[in-house]
């Protein structure tokens, strides 16, 4: 088959949510795919600091910050942080409406100190993004208190609240420049409106196009693997789309293939089924 560009979400796709260790089967599949000429990129909402533990596995490049930061090998080909005034406006209005916030700078993420308490009362493993933040906060995996934020460039804001109406004021002020990529997740004690404030200048789909154009690939020769609605633009853009069995039900309906879950060697099985490995 022709050589493909393969894009892998991390949490809930390449790894169990909140983990930095992919299954051995997934690592073997990635290595074999690369050996026969395919290129494999991470395509994640994580910032470079939070995805860094995975770089030792030898990926060909990274789409980080949901498309706001892109590398091919060691070369940065796209770098688009939020404007400083927008960060301040977002934090002010969201906090005023009782919204939990985590801001992602390039190497450090800063979260509200009471967010850990919210997760402690509402532990839930049904959503990879929420589980990532819960585990990161409970084990101190690089999440600093938002009071320590020193004004460095921010790429996106992760937001969590219990009612969508808490976002009304923020939408009025920011929706022209930023997309509110949200989903409602039922938790043990309540529901959580969870999502991201993402610059309209980029998304995972446009990041896939940027990488494909830089490397001279037709978009039809791209394959994307995801599990969450924040993978939607990637899934809509790639030539062939795959959702994990543990993924969002709405995303599954849009994908060309639903493979087994991340914890059931789903990635390796899908690579074999799609003949990405010999």
Span 132-169, pLDDT tens digits: 555 555 554 567 889 999 889 999 999 988 899 999 99
Q: Which residues of 9-31 are buried (b: 16+ CB within 10 A; e: fewer)?
A: bbbbbbbbbbbbebbebbbbbbe
Rounded (5°) CA angle 270-57-47:
95
Band of pLDDT at residue 18, cut at 50, 70 and 90: confident
Count CA within 13 A, CB hemisphere, residue 155: 26
Residue 123 has pLDDT above 90, yes or no: no
- List beta partners, residue 209: none
Tokens of 213: 């154009």
Q: Which residues of 199-219 are buried (b: 16+ CB within 10 A; e: fewer)?
A: beebbbbbbbebbbeeeebee
Average the pLDDT over 20-33 and give the result. 97
d(CA 126, CA 220): 32
Q: Please give the model's pTM, rounded to 2 decimal places.
A: 0.87
Query: What H or E segment, with its residue span, contains residue 27?
Result: helix 24-35
Best CA proximity match to 232, nearest among 216, 210, 249, 246: 249
Rounded (5°) CA angle 205-208-214:
145
Site of tokens 């998304």: 203
Band of pLDDT at residue 194, cut at 50, 70 and 90: confident
Q: Lowest mean pLDDT of 27-36, 120-129, 190-199, name the range.
A: 120-129
Contact between 262 and 14 (Cβ < 8 Å): yes
Band of pLDDT at residue 187, cut at 50, 70 and 90: low
CA gyration radius, the chain: 18
Q: Are strands 191-199 and 178-186 parallel, antiparallel or unpaired?
A: antiparallel
- State what percent of residues in the chain have pLDDT above 70: 88
Provide the 8-state DSSP code for 98.
T
Q: Are strands 61-64 and 69-72 parallel, antiparallel or unpaired?
A: antiparallel
Residue 229 has pLDDT above 60, yes or no: yes
Contact between 43 and 208 (Cβ < 8 Å): yes
Q: What is the pLDDT of residue 53?
A: 94
Q: What are the tens digits of pLDDT across the range 32-70?
A: 999 999 999 999 999 999 899 999 999 999 999 999 999
Contact between 171 and 180 (Cβ < 8 Å): yes
Q: Quickly count: other Cβ atoms within 10 Å of residue 221's Cβ.
A: 17
- State what percent of residues in the chain have pLDDT above 90: 73
Contact between 29 and 268 (Cβ < 8 Å): yes
Residue 214 has pLDDT above 70, yes or no: yes
Average per-residue pLDDT for the chain: 90
Provide the 8-state DSSP code for 81.
P
d(CA 223, CA 51): 20
Contact between 223 and 239 (Cβ < 8 Å): yes
């Amino acid at each position: 088959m022709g050589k493909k560009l393969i894009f892998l979400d991390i949490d809930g796709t390449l790894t169990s949510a909140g983990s930095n260790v992919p299954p051995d089967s997934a690592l073997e599949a990635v290595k074999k795919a690369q050996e026969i000429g395919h290129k494999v990129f991470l395509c994640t909402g994580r910032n470079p600091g939070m995805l860094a533990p995975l770089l030792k596995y030898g990926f060909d490049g990274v789409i980080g910050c949901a498309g706001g930061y892109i590398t091919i090998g060691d070369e940065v080909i796209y770098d688009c942080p939020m404007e400083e005034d927008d960060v301040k406006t977002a934090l002010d209005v969201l906090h005023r409406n009782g919204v939990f916030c985590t801001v992602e700078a390039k190497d450090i993420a800063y979260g509200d100190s009471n967010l850990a308490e919210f997760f402690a009362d509402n532990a839930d493993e049904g959503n990879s993004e929420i589980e990532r933040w819960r585990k990161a906060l409970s084990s101190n995996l690089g999440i600093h208190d938002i009071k320590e934020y020193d004004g460095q460039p921010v790429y996106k804001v992760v937001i969590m609240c219990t009612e969508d109406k808490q976002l009304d004021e923020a939408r009025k002020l920011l929706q022209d420049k930023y997309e509110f990529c949200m989903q409602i997740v039922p938790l043990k004690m309540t529901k959580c409106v969870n999502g991201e404030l993402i610059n309209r200048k980029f998304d995972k789909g446009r990041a896939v196009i940027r990488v494909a154009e830089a490397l001279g690939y037709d978009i039809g020769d791209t394959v994307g693997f995801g599990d969450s609605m924040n993978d939607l633009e990637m899934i809509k853009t790639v030539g062939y789309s795959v959702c994990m069995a543990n993924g969002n039900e709405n995303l599954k309906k849009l994908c060309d293939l639903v493979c087994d879950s991340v914890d059931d060697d789903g990635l390796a099985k899908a690579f074999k089924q799609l003949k990405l490995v010999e």
